[in-house]
């Protein structure tokens, strides 16, 4: 069995490795309502008959999915399970999926070299405070050796084809000293360090919220350019 997290609309890229291993997709999930790429979760779930798992705290305007909240558990084979942790801040409904003490699928909440930006919805300061509490009250309580596997990575992160982008949670948190600041100073630094907002992010949010996909040409234009959903204050 296979679970696919945060797929793009190019669903064949996810089907090929699954089918090549003789596996079957049993669930497709998004960690949050994405603003930087058009989600393929709904299409992939329809193609495979898999369960569609989406945060119950995001403003989706379609049905047919399983609402995911804090503590949601998806049982897999051999006693394994994916457990959802509500980790708001990048978006109000962001969730992180934990696979035991092995892996933490953080979406855009935590990257191996930075944190999720809080300003792609309303109330950036309030969202930044949510981020701070997510890091200091939730993620720091987890085993430091658990691997962080984010949805994206920046240009400065080494990458080898076919290998996952991952790092131990303890090392990731240790490399981000601003996470140890008082809350108000953290909020100030994050808001002062925000890069330019992603182009077309409101259009992408609307597409993902409604589930109404545009044509392929428009998709390619919408997703052009680097990922800008992360921030690293002080750098």
Say if residue 182's pLDDT is above 80. Answer: yes
| 119 domain-assigned | yes
| 136 domain-assigned | yes
Q: Give residue 235's pLDDT.
A: 44
Domain of 131: which CATH number?
A: 3.60.15.10
pLDDT per residue as tens digits for the range 56-108: 999 999 999 999 999 999 999 888 999 999 999 999 999 999 999 999 999 99
CB–CB of 89/109 below 8 Å? yes
CB–CB of 120/127 below 8 Å? no
Structural domain range at position 149: 2-204
| 210 domain-assigned | no
pLDDT per residue as tens digits for the range 29-57: 999 999 988 999 999 999 999 999 999 99
| 235 domain-assigned | no
Q: Give residue 227's pLDDT.
A: 59
| 49 domain-assigned | yes
| 227 domain-assigned | no
In 3D space, the residue among 102, 191, 175 whose CA is nearest the CA of residue 135 turns out to be 175
The count of structural domains within the chain is 1
> 3-state SS of the chain?
CEEEECCECCCHHHHHHHHHCCCCEEEEECCCCCCCCCECHHHHHHHHCCEEEEECCCCCCCCCCEEECCCCEEECHHHCEEEEEECCCCCCCCEEEEECCCEEEEECCECCCCEECCCCCCCHHHHHHHHHHHHHHHHHHCCCCCEEEECCCCCCCCCCCCCCCCEEHHHHHHCCHHHHCCHHHHHHHHHHCCCCCCCCHHHHHHHHHHCCCCCHHHHHHHCCCCCCCEECCCC
| 57 domain-assigned | yes
| 85 domain-assigned | yes
């Amino acid at each position: 069995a296979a679970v696919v997290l945060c797929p793009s609309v190019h669903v064949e890229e996810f089907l090929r490795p699954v089918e090549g291993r003789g596996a079957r997709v049993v669930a497709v999930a998004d960690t949050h309502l994405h603003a930087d790429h058009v989600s393929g979760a709904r299409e992939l779930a329809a193609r495979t008959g898999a369960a569609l798992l989406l945060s119950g705290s995001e403003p989706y305007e379609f049905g047919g999915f399983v609402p995911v909240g804090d503590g949601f558990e998806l049982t897999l084979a051999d006693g394994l399970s994916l457990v959802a942790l509500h980790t708001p801040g990048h978006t109000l409904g962001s969730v992180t999926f934990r696979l035991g003490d092995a892996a933490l699928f953080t979406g855009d909440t935590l990257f191996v070299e930075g944190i999720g930006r809080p300003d792609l919805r309303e109330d950036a300061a309030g969202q930044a405070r949510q981020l701070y509490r997510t890091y200091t009250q939730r993620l720091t309580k987890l085993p430091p050796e658990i691997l962080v596997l984010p949805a994206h990575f920046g240009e400065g992160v080494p990458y080898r084809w076919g290998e996952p982008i991952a790092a131990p949670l303890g090392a990731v948190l240790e490399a981000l000293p601003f996470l140890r600041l008082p809350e108000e100073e953290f909020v100030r630094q994050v808001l002062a360090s925000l890069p330019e907002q992603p182009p077309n992010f409101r259009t992408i949010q609307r597409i993902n919220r409604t589930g109404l996909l545009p044509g392929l040409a428009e998709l390619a234009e919408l997703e052009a350019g680097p990922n800008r959903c992360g921030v690293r204050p002080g750098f």
